[in-house]
Each structure stands twice: as structure tokens, then as C-alpha cells.
């Protein structure tokens, strides 16, 4: 379903108008599902040009992650994202999304002891087409069970960002 269809429905009869209303409401309120959402961004005419909201892209920042973790300690998670959309978005939440891995291979990965604490309530703005590096302070922790091979390791922490426009 897209906006163009809705516009066309405007010229139809009432039955079609009712269907268009339902579709428009669905479009306006369905904000939790990621997808190729189309955005009407050409105001003024009877028809709108379609725009697709794209996912933010991640950039490896392992090189700039400072050493902070040790068994029993906590540290920060550094994330760098790029917003490919023509509109600014605000990152509001970051949650873990898989197994933490390291650059030390299996010996460390078997027991990194590293966990990420999901966080919400963020207000990290990423401008249209901009890149931002932000730090989630103290959200990483390492248990005493971390393998000896994990010393000096750089950990990759899979996460899912939730951003709103």
C-alpha cells in the first residue's frame, strides 16, 4: 500500500473513500515494523513521489574503542552509524541482537563473559545523510568467567537500533 493509491482513491466513490481512509490510518500508525516504507515527500500536487525509509548503516569503530573491560568490570559500547535517509532520525533504543564475538577467535569466543545491557530512552539524533559516533556509557560488562584469551580483545557486539523520524 502506498500514498499514490490513496490519492487515486480520493476521486472514487464513497466506498473507495472508506477503503482509502482505512489504508491511510494504517500507514500513519504502523510505526513499529521496519520495512520499505514509502514516504510522500512532494507536497502540492494530487500525486506524491514515493520515498523509501532506509535502515541506518553501521561502520566498524573497533579501532577507536578504548580498552575498558576486565573481569568484573564495565565499559562502554561505541557505535557509528550513518543515516542514508533524506530526513533526520533519532535513535531511541539499542538492544542486543546476538552473540558477542571477539577478534581473538574461538578461544575467547567460547567464553567472552561480555554482555550488553539494552538501553532505551536515547535521544541520539542522526541528521539526514549524516554519520554519528556515539557511546553507550557503562552498558558493557565482563564477568569473571571471561576466558584468558580475551585479554586485549576487541569485541563486536551485535545490536539493533530503533530510530524514529
Partner 1 sequence: MRRKRNVLLGLALLALAGSGAAVAAWAIASSGGGSTRAFSVPQGSTPTRAITTWPNVAVSWAAVTVGGAAIDSYGIRRYAEAGALQTTLAGCSGAIAALTCSENSVPVGRWQYTTQPQKGTSWLGAESAKSSTVAIVAAPSSLACTSCTTFGATKYINAAGKAAVSVSVTLPATSIASDTVNLSLADTVPTAVGSTVAASAGAGTVTPAALDTTSLVDGNVTASAHLSANTGDLSPATTLALVRDTVVPTAANIKGNNGGVAGTVDGGDTVVYTFSEAPDPASIQAGWTGASAAVTANINNVGTADTVTVGNTNLGTVNTAANYVTTSRTCTTSTLVLAGSVLTLTLGTCGNGTSNVATSAFIWTPTSTMTDRAKNPMATTARTATTGVTANF
**Contacts (CB under 8 A) with partner 1, residues 76-105:** 76-79, 81, 85, 87, 89, 94, 97
CB atoms within 10 A of CB 73: 13
By the 8 A CB rule, do 139 and 69 touch? Answer: no
Q: Which is nearer to partner 1, 105 or 152 (CB)?
A: 152
The verdict on 109 binding partner 1 (CB under 8 A) reads no
Which of 106/148 has CB closer to partner 1? 148
- By C-beta, is 24 or 125 nearer to partner 1? 24
**Touching partner 1, residues 110-139 (CB under 8 A):** 111, 113-114, 116, 136
15-32 burial code (b ≥16 CB/10 A, e <16): eeeeebeebeeebeeeee
Residue 6 parent element (H or E): helix 3-10
106 binds partner 1 (CB under 8 A): no
Which residue in the set 11, 36, 44, 120 belongs to the binding site for partner 1 (CB under 8 A)?
11
Among 36, 120, 123, 164, binds partner 1 (CB under 8 A): 164
Instruction: Report yes or no: 40 and 112 within 8 Å, Cβ to Cβ.
Output: no
Q: Name the residue nearer to partner 1 (CB basis): 31 or 123.
A: 31
Q: Report the alpha-carbon distance of residue 156 to residue 154 in Å, rounded.
A: 7
Amino acid at each position: 500500500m502506498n500514498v499514490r493509491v490513496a490519492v487515486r482513491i480520493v476521486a472514487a466513490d464513497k466506498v473507495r473513500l472508506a477503503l482509502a481512509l482505512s489504508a491511510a490510518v494504517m500507514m500513519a500508525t504502523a510505526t513499529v515494523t521496519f520495512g520499505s516504507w514509502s514516504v510522500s515527500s512532494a507536497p502540492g500536487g494530487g500525486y506524491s513521489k514515493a520515498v523509501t525509509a532506509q535502515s541506518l548503516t553501521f561502520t566498524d569503530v573497533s579501532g577507536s574503542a578504548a580498552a575498558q573491560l576486565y573481569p568484573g568490570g564495565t565499559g562502554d559500547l561505541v557505535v557509528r552509524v550513518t543515516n542514508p535517509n533524506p530526513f533526520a532520525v533519532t535513535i531511541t533504543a539499542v538492544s542486543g541482537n546476538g552473540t558477542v564475538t571477539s577478534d581473538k577467535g574461538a578461544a575467547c569466543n567460547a567464553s567472552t563473559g561480555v554482555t550488553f545491557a539494552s538501553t532505551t530512552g536515547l535521544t541520539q539524533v542522526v541528521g539526514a545523510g549524516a554519520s554519528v559516533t556515539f557511546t553507550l556509557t557503562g552498558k558493557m560488562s565482563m564477568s569473571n568467567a571471561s576466558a584468558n584469551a580475551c585479554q586485549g580483545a576487541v569485541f563486536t557486539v551485535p545490536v539493533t537500533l530503533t530510530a524514529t523520524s
